[in-house]
């Protein structure tokens, strides 16, 4: 069971930049190759920008060629939710943080082994914590 974080739009707007709010709270998408983490190769953990929940590890990050940070597996599947998304006349699966319901991106079944999944995420919904040496 996950303890949910619930805030009003006004509270989220105080905490997030305009772009972060658009992506994480209103299901927006940043343009490909513009996010700060799409080409990040440092070792560490990617957390939910809204609530700080650790969601993905650099160990499962790979270059999908799409222009967004891509991962083949979450750190803890219980913390990453999947929601049917039929917007834009497509059938996709939205990925959300289960702790605060932030929109992270989408997951597709065309990723590498061992999972075959491609969690295609927005940098604007993530915060990276570099591993300390």
- Known catalytic residues? 120
CB 22 within 8 A of CB 123: no
Query: Nearest Cα to 119, choosing from 69, 84, 46?
Result: 69
Note the Cα 113 to chain centre separation in Å: 20
Angstrom distances, CA of residue 79 to CA of 1, 26, 129: 10, 19, 17
């Amino acid at each position: 069971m996950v303890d949910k974080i619930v805030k009003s739009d006004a509270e989220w707007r105080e905490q997030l930049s305009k772009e972060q709010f658009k992506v994480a709270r209103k299901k927006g998408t940043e343009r490909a190759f513009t996010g700060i983490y799409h080409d990040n190769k440092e070792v560490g953990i990617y957390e939910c920008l809204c609530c700080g929940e650790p969601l993905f590890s650099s160990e499962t990050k790979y270059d999908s060629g799409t222009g967004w940070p891509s991962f083949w597996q979450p750190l803890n599947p219980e913390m990453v939710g999947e929601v049917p998304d039929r917007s834009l006349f497509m059938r996709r699966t939205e990925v959300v943080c289960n702790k605060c319901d932030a929109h992270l991106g989408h997951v597709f079944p065309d990723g590498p082994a061992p999972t075959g999944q491609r969690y295609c995420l927005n940098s604007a919904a993530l915060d990276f914590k570099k591993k300390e040496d």
